[in-house]
């Protein structure tokens, strides 16, 4: 038998016990870094399950308040509100109606939890338009960037009047952050911050979300959302948003774009968010339901990978559950 040379350097020493592994861990996930996206359905009398997102529902106004209270108790960083209206039109007028579902939901949640959790709103028209696009259409059926900005300004003011802490413009219109910042400041809402959906890609992973918001989308969004082939473009968009006044920038989706997330994190000097989106959630849940993966460790590993790539905060439908797992 040949003599085996004994290794002097043994990296396994630092993996010996759970306490030692915790001590030298390079990346952590904490409840304060997690944001819970939630859907509230106008007129709903009980929560409506979303079939493609097991465990996620369209909330009633009352169940939304309960979810927000739980988020505060768990120490989550934020809750992002999406409205599901009963009526839509070509210009998304329900988005700026003070009595529209998203605006009343903002007021409900702020009234329930105050500033215990950052109350955030999706500032976009896609849930409110009968064509399902994120903006107003011109006579050729194309999204009119500058007319859409006018509506975004009104929507930002409506959300601020309802009490929102942070708006999340997600429509990928050129100049949207500058217009929203100007509108908020002109209305003396200087403290309302902006989470810019800066690098938002035209992804195949949005399917379950479209069920969640009862999307009416006709066609696709490739003329305003980004080409999945482009990484430098995502960095450019983030830098533009920072220059326009964004307080945070975001990469969406998360898992197929971890490389973009790292590049954005390295390029900007504001906090960076990533959205662990519906399709990513649905894939893991489906695999776990088949017994193909160990669900709870897979959730935490997924969130850790997003943090490791550079996200300061993560929007995830597992936010509340992950916070409970982290408490164990």
β-pair partners for 223: none
Distance CA 122, CA 199 (A): 15
Known catalytic membership, residue 65:
no
C-alpha–C-alpha distance, residues 193 and 107, integer Å? 17
Q: Exposed, middle or buried, 1 (CB in 10 Å: 0-12/13-18/19+)?
A: exposed
3-class SS of residue 190: coil
252 in active site: yes
Structure tokens given for 241: 């948003």
Residue 307 DSSP class: H
Separation between Cα atoms, residue 151 and residue 176, nearest integer Å = 10
Check: CB of residue 116 under 8 Å from CB of residue 196: no
As a whole number of angstroms, the distance between CA 48 and CA 60 comes to 8
The active-site residue, picked from 200, 221, 265, 307, is 200
Residues 308, 256: Cα–Cα separation, whole Å: 14
Catalytic residue among 157, 252, 265, 307: 252
Beta strands in the chain, from DSSP E residues, in sequence order: 34-41, 48-49, 57-59, 78-84, 118-123, 166-169, 193-200, 248-252, 272-276, 313-316
- In 3D space, the residue among 140, 137, 122, 106 whose CA is nearest the CA of residue 200 turns out to be 122
Q: Residue length, the chain?
A: 328
Burial of 91-109, coded b for 16+ CB within 10 Å and e otherwise, reads bbbbbbeeebbbbbbbbbb
Q: Are 109 and 121 in contact (CB under 8 A)?
A: no
Q: Which residues are catalytic?
A: 200, 252
């Amino acid at each position: 038998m040949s003599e085996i040379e004994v290794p002097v350097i043994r990296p396994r020493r630092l993996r010996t016990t759970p306490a030692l592994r915790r001590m030298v861990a390079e990346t952590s996930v904490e409840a304060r870094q997690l944001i819970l996206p939630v859907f509230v359905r106008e007129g709903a009398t009980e929560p409506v399950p979303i079939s493609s997102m097991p465990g996620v529902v369209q909330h009633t106004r009352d169940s939304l308040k309960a979810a927000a209270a739980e988020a505060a108790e768990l120490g989550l960083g934020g809750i992002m509100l999406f409205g599901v209206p009963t009526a839509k039109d070509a210009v998304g007028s329900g988005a700026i109606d003070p009595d529209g579902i998203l605006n009343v939901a903002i007021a409900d949640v702020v009234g329930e939890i105050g500033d215990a959790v950052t109350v955030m709103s999706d500032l976009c028209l896609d849930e409110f338009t009968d064509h399902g696009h994120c903006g107003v259409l011109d006579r050729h059926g194309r999204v009119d960037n500058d007319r859409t900005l006018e509506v975004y300004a009104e929507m930002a003011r409506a959300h601020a009047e309802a009490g929102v802490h942070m708006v999340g413009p997600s429509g990928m219109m050129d100049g949207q952050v500058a217009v929203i910042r100007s509108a908020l400041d002109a209305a003396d809402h200087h403290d309302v911050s902006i989470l810019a959906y800066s690098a938002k890609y035209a992804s195949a992973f949005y399917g379950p979300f479209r069920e969640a918001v009862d999307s009416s989308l006709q066609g696709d969004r490739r003329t305003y959302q980004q080409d999945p082939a482009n990484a430098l473009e995502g960095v450019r968009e983030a830098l533009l948003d920072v220059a326009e006044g964004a307080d945070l920038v975001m990469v969406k989706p998360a898992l197929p774009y971890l490389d973009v997330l790292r590049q954005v994190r390295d390029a900007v000097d504001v906090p960076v968010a990533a959205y662990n989106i519906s399709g990513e959630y649905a894939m893991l849940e489906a695999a776990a339901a088949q017994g193909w993966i160990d669900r709870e460790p897979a959730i935490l590993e997924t969130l850790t990978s997003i943090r490791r790539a550079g996200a300061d905060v993560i929007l995830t439908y597992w936010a509340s559950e992950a916070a409970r797992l982290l408490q164990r």
